[in-house]
Amino acid sequence: MFNSIMMFNFEDRILPMNIRPRRNRKSAAIRSMVEETKIGAEHLIYPIFLKDGLNIKEEIGSLPKNFRWSLDLLIPEIEECLKLGISTFDIFPAVDEHLKDKIASYSYSNDNFYLNAIRKLKETFPEMVIMTDAAMDPYSSDGHDGLVDNGKILNDQTLPILNKMALAQAQAGADIIGPSDMMDGRVESIRETLDINGYTDVSIMSYTAKYASAFYGPFRDALNSAPKSGDKKTYQMNPANKREALLEAELDVMEGADMIMVKPALCYLDVIHVLKENFNIPVTAYNVSGECAMVYAAAEKGWLNYNLAISEMLLSMRRAGADGILTYFAKDFAQLLKK
């Protein structure tokens, strides 16, 4: 029996199959030729944290390889990223506590370091695309995205504050406003404010399906912007809901959004896909801080290959339908592409 097995000629076992999918996987060149999903540096948006002062580069403990930058050190970092092919940056301000109040008034103040930094960056790098965040939480003493009164988030009373904030950002040179607050009607309100003041070319990338997620912790550490009380579940979406994202997207498109976003990305690939299938404007995904922190931690322990893991994660978001991806992996992935 043993000898008969050893003498069996496996080359004789050619099965009559006309369709063999492996033929399209037989070499790197063919795999590349038939690759369905492509991702490049042009698809990346790099979130960056800005802090007032000089000579500041503070690593964020819960988000390794990411920093709070002062403008003087951020400028050469931006220049390096531009050379790697990253052209779009989402800049978030880390605001000192003494500048925060209930109405986020510092967000549109003339001496706001964040607005002045945007002006300087646009003067230095006119080719870069600057996206800004329109929400109260970085500037609010309550740490919420909307105006708080007796523990309740006031939707309609928040909109005028967001209007002032968005207009100030546009005046400073922002190319894209990103309303991340999840207040009802804020896209239309901001669009009307921008248009009335002559900023018809400034885009709105709405945080359309922003879920009340457990994956925002490192971001809140970076900006010290966690809610002082309560949570954000009355305005951010329930992670259990997908059809609700279609309603939010329909409203944002009707109100004038130029792009719609899903946040987070990794646990919501199905939501990215359903929005891409149902709307004819660009869909972006935010690969949020907690999603990235997990990979940093696992790679540090040797449990994951960092380069392979980030490549697969970002590719999955593109495959789901994301036209652009906000990710803290942007610079590392762009460097990989260069290699």
Active site residue 242: no
Q: Which residues contact 62 (CB under 8 A, 6 or more apart)?
A: 217, 218, 221, 222, 289, 293
- Residue 174: what pLDDT? 98
- Residue 187: what pLDDT? 98
Question: What are the pLDDT digits (tens) for 23-35?
Answer: 899 999 999 888 8
Q: Residue 218: which of 164, 295, 166 has the closest Cα?
A: 295
**Whose structure tokens read 């070499």?**
27
CATH homologous superfamily, domain 39-338? Aldolase class I (3.20.20.70)
Question: What are the pLDDT digits (tens) for 45-55?
Answer: 999 999 999 99
- Residue 1: what pLDDT? 47
Question: What are the pLDDT digits (tens) for 196-242?
Answer: 999 999 999 999 999 999 999 999 989 888 888 888 999 999 999 99
Structure tokens at 290: 């907690």
Name the catalytic one among 164, 232, 263, 276.
Answer: 263
Q: Does 326 score more than 60 pLDDT? A: yes
> E strands within 41-171?
44-51, 57-60, 63-69, 88-94, 129-134, 147-149, 152-154
Q: Does 9 score more than 90 pLDDT? A: no
Structure tokens at 55: 């000579």
Domain boundaries, the chain: 39-338
Beta carbons of 210 and 267 less than 8 angstroms apart: no
Question: What are the pLDDT digits (tens) for 58-81?
Answer: 999 999 999 999 999 999 999 999
DSSP 8-state symbol, 242 = S
CA distance 155 to 228: 18
pTM, two decimal places: 0.92
- Residue 16: what pLDDT? 86
For the chain, percent of residues with pLDDT exceeding 70: 96
Question: What are the pLDDT digits (tens) for 138-160?
Answer: 999 998 999 999 989 999 999 99
- Per DSSP, the residues of 110-130 read TT-HHHHHHHHHHHH-TTSEE
Q: Does 106 score more than 80 pLDDT? A: yes
Name the catalytic one among 210, 232, 276, 331.
Answer: 210
Query: Residue range 311-335: average pLDDT?
Result: 98
Question: What are the pLDDT digits (tens) for 239-293?
Answer: 999 999 999 999 999 999 999 999 999 999 999 999 999 999 999 999 999 999 9
Q: Residue 240: which of 268, 279, 215, 264 has the closest Cα?
A: 268
Active site residue 100: no
DSSP 8-state symbol, 131 = E
Structure tokens at 263: 């946040």
DSSP 8-state symbol, 75 = H
